[in-house]
Amino acid sequence: MATDKKTIGITRDNNDALQRLVIDGQFTSEPDAAKFAMAHTIKKGTAPGRIDSADTKWNVGSVDVDGKLRSLLTAFYPDVDEPFRLMEYLMNKGLSDLAGSATQKPDVYGIMFDE
């Protein structure tokens, strides 16, 4: 078994999107926004992947305090042996998808209830 990540990183471009989601009042914290982005991209059926050049943002224990996210990822992606590396990828992919433009914030409500 491979050694999984101990930290979760967010790319610089995605960090800007993450900060906008909080500043615009869409979420109260960056981890909540990143988890939503991950859930959104899982819902879309995103295949596993990995991200490079992400800057360390959080320790995995601060994002997945009770281990439920790790369990969720292994349930949805049973062939992945590094769930935290996958979490990092899915968070970044989701943030990229949600980034929108500088003048238009993403429709989080629509994503939650209309899709």
User: What pLDDT score does 97 carry?
Assistant: 87
pTM of the model: 0.89
> Has residue 94 been placed in a domain?
yes
> Has residue 24 been placed in a domain?
yes
The range of the structural domain enclosing residue 33 comes to 7-105
Please state, in angstroms and as integers, the Cα–Cα distance from residue 100 to each residue in 3, 38, 111, following that order.
Answer: 34, 16, 13
User: What pLDDT score does 52 carry?
Assistant: 85
Q: What average pLDDT does the segment 60-67 reach?
A: 95
User: What pLDDT score does 25 carry?
Assistant: 87
> Has residue 112 been placed in a domain?
no
pLDDT, one tens digit per residue, over 90-107 is 999 999 988 865 556 666
Q: What average pLDDT does the segment 23-37 reach?
A: 92
> Has residue 1 been placed in a domain?
no
Which among 40, 112, 39 is positioned nearest to 69, based on CA atoms?
39
> Has residue 46 been placed in a domain?
yes
Domain total of the chain: 1
